[in-house]
Every structure is written in structure tokens, then in C-alpha cells.
Structure 1
């Protein structure tokens, strides 16, 4: 297969971005960071969960 033939099947950047877009109906993204000191979390306004 030639380079031109292989390139014909590749996605363009616009196609890749459109395929990877997050739907507006999706739930919010939640990120959990372990090991942050409480003072750091409070200082930057992160939600802080106390563990048992």
C-alpha cells in the first residue's frame, strides 16, 4: 500500500477533535487527588473530604 493510499484512511485533526468531543449532556468531570494536604486543598478552594 502506498503512502497516499494509507493517508486516505487517516482522520484529519478536525475529524479527530469532532470524534472526541464531550457531549453537553454528559455529567461533570470529577477528579480525585490523593495525598494533598488539607491546607493546600482549602487554600485553592478544592472540595475536601475527610476520611475515616
Structure 2
């Protein structure tokens, strides 16, 4: 079962389109890459090549 990470200030921002965009801070707290091609992925995942740098 996945651990639930509480969302705190600085973990995301709202885009002009109204979507929540998680920051690098949140991804590091989560502790792993979800391989979804997140905008602020600190793990270096590239969705186009399906690999991590």
C-alpha cells in the first residue's frame, strides 16, 4: 500500500488553466518517480524516451 503524503504549502501551485502542479519539493517528499512525465520531476524521468537520466 502506498504511503499517504500530506500536502503542505509549497508542494504545488495552480496553473493558469486551474490544474494543480506538484513541485520538486513534493516529489522529493514522496520519494519515488511515478513515471508520468511530471513537469518538476527531480528524478530525471523523460516520458519521450521512457528512461531516467
TM-score w.r.t. length of structure 2: 0.25
Of Structure 1 and Structure 2, the greater helix share is in 1
Structure of greater Rg = 1
Which structure has more RCO (C-alpha within 8 Å, separation ≥ 6)? 2
TM-score w.r.t. length of structure 1: 0.26
